[in-house]
């Protein structure tokens, strides 16, 4: 495949020397961009956009046309796996994702297939190939999946939930059923991410959006255990390069040392975790990604620049930092403010790498 012209992001994930701190944004192809909204309207709805190779490629590239980002991220959704398992994913305006079927018994788990990316999620792998071709080596492409626990919360609840009560009750009262579900999901995520890597993804991120809703012991039993299983099963090198793995548990700052022991190359931080303390805690074991509060992008460009400067200073000199938001960019953000954020990282980070 085409040689990378800018591999700063990949080198930072591997804690190798870089000239500046690379930056990308979670949900960088999204509703805050007018061009994205136009393409989504053309597709008809969100799922149709995800499943249209040409349009998924188009929206992946849109933020790179606006901003000097150091990575592209596949345009898709974390719930593609349960949809491919036959649960019937759909979206209702203002209510988020929902499933027509739920998983609440061992019989339900036994009926689920283990997902094969190329077979069951061909449209995702096709999108990866199309995006890699369109990027032409400009920046690396990130593939991703939801974590088994996060996927399970939606599958058991039938959609989003504020307290994940049904899912937690199943885990606590019928752990055998929950472990059977999580193992099947871990197998599926591993195969899915490996197929993304083979199709051209140059780094992968596991989004553990709801791991932070668990208690200390439950997090290790029902979330971290299965993310480690995935990391152990991933392709480590492809196309002549190492393929870094990022783990991101929202509200998971208390478990950084445990996460660093999974074998992942980098940990995502949300805005509730101090980046300086995180760096002291993990040492040289992993890189760190994050961690500006997405709401900061609603402030003035001057204030955004000040916050970027503060976070860079908190991390300090040296390698192993990828700048990002602590969660996804939100729809009401002014694209000019996103640009101010990205430009500030690029301009202010160079002194930390001399």
User: How far is 226 from 220, CA to CA, in rounded Å?
Assistant: 9
Q: Are 114 and 161 contained in the same domain? A: yes
The contacts of residue 158 (CB under 8 Å, 6+ apart) are: 98, 99, 102
Q: Decide which of 211, 243, 268 is a domain's last residue.
A: 268
Percentage of the chain lying above the pLDDT 90 cut: 97
Q: Is residue 32 part of a domain?
A: no
Residue 114 sits in a domain of what CATH number?
3.20.20.210
Token code pair at residue 67: 């901003």
Kindly tell me if the per-residue pLDDT of 351 is higher than 90: yes
Q: Is residue 61 part of a domain?
A: no
| Segment 101-152, tens digit of pLDDT | 999 999 999 999 999 999 999 999 999 999 999 999 999 999 999 999 999 9
Q: Are 252 and 276 contained in the same domain? A: no
Task: Establish whether 11 is an annotated binding residue.
Answer: no
Q: From the candidates 37, 77, 108, 116, which is the catalytic residue?
A: 77
Task: Establish whether 163 is an annotated binding residue.
Answer: no
- Show the domain range for 312: 7-24+272-354
Q: Are 251 and 307 contained in the same domain? A: no
Task: Establish whether 28 is an annotated binding residue.
Answer: yes
Q: Is residue 168 part of a domain?
A: yes
Q: Are 279 and 309 contained in the same domain? A: yes
Q: From the candidates 20, 32, 36, 154, which is the catalytic residue?
A: 154
Q: Are 188 and 314 contained in the same domain? A: no
| Segment 233-259, tens digit of pLDDT | 999 999 999 999 999 999 999 999 999
Give 1's pLDDT tier (boundaries 50, 70, 90).
low
The torsion angles phi and psi of 140, rounded to 5 degrees, stand at -70, 160
Q: From the candidates 7, 15, 32, 40, which is the catalytic residue?
A: 40
Task: Establish whether 77 is an annotated binding residue.
Answer: yes
Give 154's pLDDT tier (boundaries 50, 70, 90).
very high
Counting the structural domains of the chain, the total is 2
Quickly count: other Cβ atoms within 10 Å of residue 182's Cβ: 24
Kindly tell me if the per-residue pLDDT of 95 is higher than 90: no
Give 349's pLDDT tier (boundaries 50, 70, 90).
very high
Q: Are 218 and 315 contained in the same domain? A: no
Q: Are 188 and 312 contained in the same domain? A: no
Q: Are 263 and 323 contained in the same domain? A: no
Active site residue 40: yes
User: How far is 319 from 337, CA to CA, in rounded Å?
Assistant: 26
pTM score of the predicted model:
0.97
The torsion angles phi and psi of 146, rounded to 5 degrees, stand at -75, 155
Closest CA to 221 of 159, 168, 184, 292: 168
Q: Is residue 96 part of a domain?
A: yes
| Segment 304-320, tens digit of pLDDT | 999 999 999 999 999 99
Q: Is residue 289 part of a domain?
A: yes
Q: Are 134 and 200 contained in the same domain? A: yes
Active site residue 31: yes
Task: Establish whether 29 is an annotated binding residue.
Answer: yes
Token code pair at residue 283: 């040492």
Signed CA dihedral, 20, 25, 30, 33: sign only? negative
Quickly count: other Cβ atoms within 10 Å of residue 37's Cβ: 14
Q: Decide which of 241, 268, 295 is a domain's last residue.
A: 268
Q: Decide which of 234, 268, 302 is a domain's last residue.
A: 268
Q: Are 226 and 318 contained in the same domain? A: no
Q: From the candidates 31, 37, 225, 303, which is the catalytic residue?
A: 31
Percentage of the chain lying above the pLDDT 70 cut: 100
Q: Are 162 and 209 contained in the same domain? A: yes
Q: Are 300 and 240 contained in the same domain? A: no
Active site residue 77: yes
């Amino acid at each position: 495949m085409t040689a990378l012209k800018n591999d700063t992001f990949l080198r930072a994930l591997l804690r190798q020397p870089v000239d500046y701190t690379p930056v990308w944004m979670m949900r960088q192809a999204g509703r805050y961009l007018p061009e994205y909204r136009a393409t989504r309207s053309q597709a008809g709805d969100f799922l149709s956009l995800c499943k249209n190779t040409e349009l998924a490629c188009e929206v992946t590239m849109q933020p790179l046309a606006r901003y000097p980002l150091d990575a592209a991220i596949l345009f898709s959704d974390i719930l593609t796996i349960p949809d491919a398992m036959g649960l019937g994913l759909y979206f209702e305006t203002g209510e988020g994702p929902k499933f027509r079927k739920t998983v609440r018994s061992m019989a339900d788990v036994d009926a689920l297939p283990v997902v094969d990316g190329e077979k069951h999620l061909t449209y995702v792998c096709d999108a990866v190939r199309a995006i890699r071709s369109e990027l032409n080596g400009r920046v690396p492409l990130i593939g991703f999946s939801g974590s088994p626990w996060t996927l399970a919360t939606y599958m058991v609840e039938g959609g989003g939930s504020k307290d994940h009560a049904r899912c937690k009750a199943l885990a606590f009262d019928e752990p055998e059923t929950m472990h059977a579900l999580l193992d099947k999901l871990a197998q599926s995520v591993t195969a899915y991410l490996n197929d993304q890597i083979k199709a051209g993804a140059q780094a992968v991120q596991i989004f553990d959006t709801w791991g932070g809703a668990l208690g200390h012991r439950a997090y290790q039993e029902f979330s971290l255990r299965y993310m480690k299983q995935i990391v152990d099963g991933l392709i480590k090198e492809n196309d002549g390069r190492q393929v870094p793995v990022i783990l991101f548990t929202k509200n998971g700052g208390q478990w950084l040392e445990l996460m660093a022991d999974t074998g992942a190359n980098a940990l995502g931080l949300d805005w509730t975790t101090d980046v300086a303390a995180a760096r002291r805690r993990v040492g040289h074991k992993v890189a760190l990604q994050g961690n500006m509060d997405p709401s900061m992008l609603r402030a003035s460009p001057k204030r955004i620049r000040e916050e970027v400067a503060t976070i860079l200073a908190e991390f300090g000199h040296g390698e192993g930092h990828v700048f990002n938001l602590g969660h996804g960019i939100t729809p009401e953000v002014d694209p000019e403010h996103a640009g101010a954020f990205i430009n500030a990282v690029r301009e202010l980070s160079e002194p930390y790498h001399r």
